[in-house]
Amino acid sequence: MVEPDYLKFDTLSLHAGQEPDPTTGSRGVPIYQTTSYSFVDTEQAAGLFNLEQPGHIYSRISNPTVAVLEERLAALEGGVGAVCTASGMAAFHLACATIMSAGNHVVASRNIYGGSHNMLNLTMPRFGIQTTFVDPRDLDAWESAITPDTRVLFAETLGNPGIEVLNVPAVAEIAHSHGIPLMVDATFTTPYLMKPIELGADIVMHSVTKFLGGHGIALGGVIVDGGRFDWAANDKFPTLSEPYDGYHGITFSEEYGHQALSMRARAEGLRDFGAAMSPANAFHLLQGVETLPLRMRRHVENTESVIDFLETNDAVSWVSHPAVSSHPDHELAQSLLPHGAGAILSFGISGGREAGRRFIESVQLASHVANVGDAKTLVIHPASTTHQQLSAQDLTAAGVGEDLIRLSVGLEDPSDIIADLARALRASQKG
Amino acid sequence: MQIEFRDLMVNVATGGVDLDKQLPPVLLLHGAGMDRTVWSQQTRYLAHHGFAPMAVDLPGHGDSEGELLPTIAAMAEWVAGFVEKMGLDPIRLVGHSMGSLISLEVAARHPQTVERLILMGAAAAMPVHPELLGAAERNEILAPQLMTAWAHGSRAHVAGNPTPGLWMRSGCQALLERAAPDVIYNDLAACNSYEAGDVAARIECSVSVMVGSEDKMTPPKATAQLVAGFSEVDLQHLKGVGHMMMMEAPDQIRELLLQALR
Ligand SMILES: Cc1ncc(COP(=O)(O)O)c(C=O)c1O
C-alpha cells in the first residue's frame, strides 16, 4: 500500500519552518532582534500593506524568528497556520476577538485554567460576550447550553486540575452540528500526545510557556488554525465572511478560504491588539520544541512512576490522572491519548488544608510555583494560589478541594522525585 | 463574489475588488479537488496590477453550487459558456493541473474565446495512481494525504512559506479535506481518462507553460511532451518547486504570470 511520505513528528520538531538562514547560512534559527524590514520599492511596500504579496513589515505583525516557531507549531499540530502571541492568555484573547463580537456567547468547560475562567467569566462580559460553563464530560450539557448567539465551544484537552479528558470528537460533532467551531486549549497535551485537529477541533491554542518551551524561561502563546471549518457556511462569523474595510473591503473567507482565520488573526488581531511574541522568546521556545518528543516521552514515564508511588502511600487519599484505572476518563484516555495522558496530576492529602500546607513547605526538589510543564518538577496547592479568585461555590464546581495538591512531573531521575515526595508526605502527617 | 449562471450560483474571487470589466479579464482555473483559494497568492496582486482576475470555483467545488462535471470536455464547455455569458471573451485563461487540461480544451474547441493560455502543472496525459484513485473513490482521507505528499517539492515539506505563519502542507491537505464527498474522485477520474489527442496542435493563441523541477504529479518530462505539440510556447522552469507552484513559489509565479499576461 502506498503511504504519504510526510516527514515524521520528531523530524518536524527539529526542522519545520526553517531553512539555513539565506544570508549567513546559520543552521540554528537566528534571533532577528529587529522591528522593521526594508521595502524594495514603493510598489512592493504598497503590495505588502495591501496583502497582495507576503513578507515582513513590522515585528508586531510578523517577525522572521517568530515565523519559524509559528510554522513549526502549525506543522506539529497539522494546522494550516499559526499565530504566536506574547502569552497563552494573549492567544486565547486573540482567538476570541477574531471570531466574536459583542452580543456573542461562548460555551466553555468549567474545568479550565483559572486565568481563562476569569477572562470568560469576568472580563469578556464587559465587552458584551457572555459564557455558560458546563461539565466537560456532560455532552448533553454542551448541547443544551448552545444558543443562537453561541460562536464557539471551548475546553482544555486535559482539564485543570481534575485532568478531565475532553472527548474531542464528540464535542466537535456537537459544535459542528450547530455550525460553530470547537476551540481547545491543548497546553497539557502538546501535539506530541494529542492532535486535536485530526480529532475534529478547529482551533488549538497553547500556553507555549509550558511543555512546548519546557524550560520555564519564556512566556508565549499560539493559536493554530485547523483550516477545516467553513466560516462562510452561515452568517455567524462576519469578521471572516464579510468585507472588512481594514484592507479595502477584503473578505477573508473568499480570498483565503481555509486559511481565513490565520490571516485575519494576524492582519487585524496582531496589528490592533499588538500582543506579539518577542523574537527572543520565540528563539528560546524553539529550543524547547526541538526536543519536545524526547521530553514528553520522559515526562510520561516519570509520571507513571510517581503515580505508582503515590497510590501506595498512606498519606495520599486519592490520585487523579487518566492513567489511573479508577479515573473516570481512563478508557477515553486510552483511545485519545495513546502516548500517555500528560505529566500533570492531582492528589488528595490526608489531613486536608493544614497537611497540604506542610507538604508544600517540606518539598525540597520540587518547586512551589504557579506554573506547570517545566522540565523541573513543580507543586502547587490551587485553593490558595491559581484558583484563589474563585468563590467557594465556583471552587467546588471546578473540582478543587482544599486537600488537592497539583503536581507537574519533571524530567529529574524518578527516584529523586519520589524520595522528595515521600519525605514531604511524611512531614505533612506530623501535625 | 457570487454570479448566477445557468440558474446556479458560481463563486468567484476577484482579488478583493469589484470586477472591473474595463480591465483585461483573467480566468483562473483550479486543479482536482481544490478551489479558487489556490490562487490566493496571485489574485489580489493581479487586481492591483491592471487586470480583472476571476478565480472561479468550478461547479460543486468551494462555494459554487451545481453538480460535478464528469469529464474535462464537460468542464471546458461549462467554462466556455461562463466566459460567454459574462461577456469576457476573448479571455486570458490560466489553469493549474486539472485546470490546465480544461484550459487546453477550451482554447482548442473555442479559439475565439481564448486570447492567451497560461498553464501550470500541465501535461498531455494525467494518469492517476490506482491506489490514489481507489482511496478517492472510497472518500478516504488517504486521498488528500497522498495528493498533498506528492504535490509539494521537498522544500515545501519542510519550510519556505513566504506568508508568515502559514504551513503549506496542511494548507493543501485541509483544502482537499474540505471538498465534498466524491469531488476528488470525480476530478481525478476526469484527469485519468482524459485523452489530449492533437489538442496542442489545435491551439492558436499564445501559450506560456510553467513547470516545477520537483513536480511529481505532472513531472517535467510529461510537461515536455505536451509542450512539444505547441507551435509556439514560452516555457519557464522553476527550480526546487513541486506541483503546487503558485503556493510554493508565489513570488516567482506572480512575476511570471504578470509577464505572460502582458
Ligand atoms: C492550561 C493553560 N492555559 C493557558 C494558560 C495561560 O498561559 P500564559 O501563562 O502563557 O499566559 C495557562 C497558564 O498557566 C494554562 O495552564
List pLDDT tens digits, range B22-73: 999 999 999 999 999 999 999 999 999 999 999 999 999 999 999 999 999 9
Q: Which residues in chain B are closer than 8 Å to A79, comparing Cβ atoms?
A: 167, 170
Structural domain for B214, as ranges:
2-126+195-261
Q: Would the pTM of this model clear 0.90, i.e. be above it? A: yes
Q: Hey, are the CB atoms on A62 and B165 less than 8 Å from each other?
A: yes
Give Cα B261 to chain centroid, integer Å: 16
Q: Hey, are the CB atoms on B45 and A47 less than 8 Å from each other?
A: yes
Classify residue B174: in a domain, yes or no.
no
Residue B249 and residue A9: Cα distance in Å, rounded?
A: 25
User: How many A from CA of A334 to the centre of ligand 1?
Assistant: 25
- pLDDT tens-digit readout, B146-182: 999 999 999 999 998 999 999 999 999 999 999 999 9
Classify residue B183: in a domain, yes or no.
no
* ipTM summary value: 0.96
Q: Does B67 touch chain A (CB under 8 A)?
A: no
Classify residue B147: in a domain, yes or no.
no
- b/e map B115-146, b = 16+ CB within 10 Å: bbbbbbbbbbebebeeebbebbeeeeebbbbb
Q: What's the total number of domains in chain B?
A: 1
CATH class in words for A293-428: alpha beta
CATH 3.40.640.10 assigned to domain A9-288? The reply is yes
Minimal-distance CA residue of chain B relative to A249? B16
- Which site among B36, B138, B167, B244 would you substitute to test the A interface, given the most A Cβ atoms closer than 10 Å to its Cβ? B167
How would DSSP label each residue in A103-157? Answer: T-EEEEESSS-HHHHHIIIIIGGGGT-EEEEE-TT-HHHHHHH--TTEEEEEEES
* Secondary structure letter of residue B38 according to DSSP: G
Give Cα A246 to chain centroid, integer Å: 29
Residue A207 Cβ < 6 Å to ligand 1? yes
Contact (Cβ atoms closer than 8 angstroms) between residue A262 and residue A231: no
Q: Which residues in chain B are closer than 8 Å to A78, comparing Cβ atoms?
A: 170, 173
Q: What is the mean pLDDT of each run of 10 residues along chain A (431 residues)?
A: 92 96 93 97 93 95 98 98 98 98 98 94 98 98 98 96 93 98 98 98 98 96 98 97 92 95 98 98 98 98 98 96 96 97 96 89 94 95 72 70 92 98 96 72
Residue A285 and residue A66: Cα distance in Å, rounded?
A: 10
Residue A89 Cβ < 6 Å to ligand 1? yes
Q: Which residues in chain B are closer than 8 Å to A6, comparing Cβ atoms?
A: 145, 149, 157, 169
Contact (Cβ atoms closer than 8 angstroms) between residue B193 and residue B98: no
CATH classification at residue B213:
3.40.50.1820
Instruction: Look at the block and give the residue holding cell 484550459.
Output: B103
Half-sphere exposure of B86 (CA within 13 A, CB side): 28
Q: Which residues in chain A are closer than 8 Å to B35, comparing Cβ atoms?
A: 257
Tell which atom from ligand 1 comes closest to the C-alpha of A220. 10
Pairing of strands B52-56, B25-29: parallel
Tell which atom from ligand 1 comes closest to the C-alpha of A209. 10
Q: What is the 3-state secondary structure (H, E, C) of A327-352?
A: CCCHHHHHHHCCCCCCCEEEEEECCH
Domain ranges of chain A: 9-288, 293-428
Residue A115 Cβ < 6 Å to ligand 1? yes
Most informative mutation of A94, A118, A166, A209 for ligand 1 (most atoms within 8 A of CB): A209
User: How many A from CA of A125 to the centre of ligand 1?
Assistant: 20
User: How many A from CA of B224 to the centre of ligand 1?
Assistant: 55
Q: Hey, are the CB atoms on A7 and B158 less than 8 Å from each other?
A: yes
Classify residue B202: in a domain, yes or no.
yes
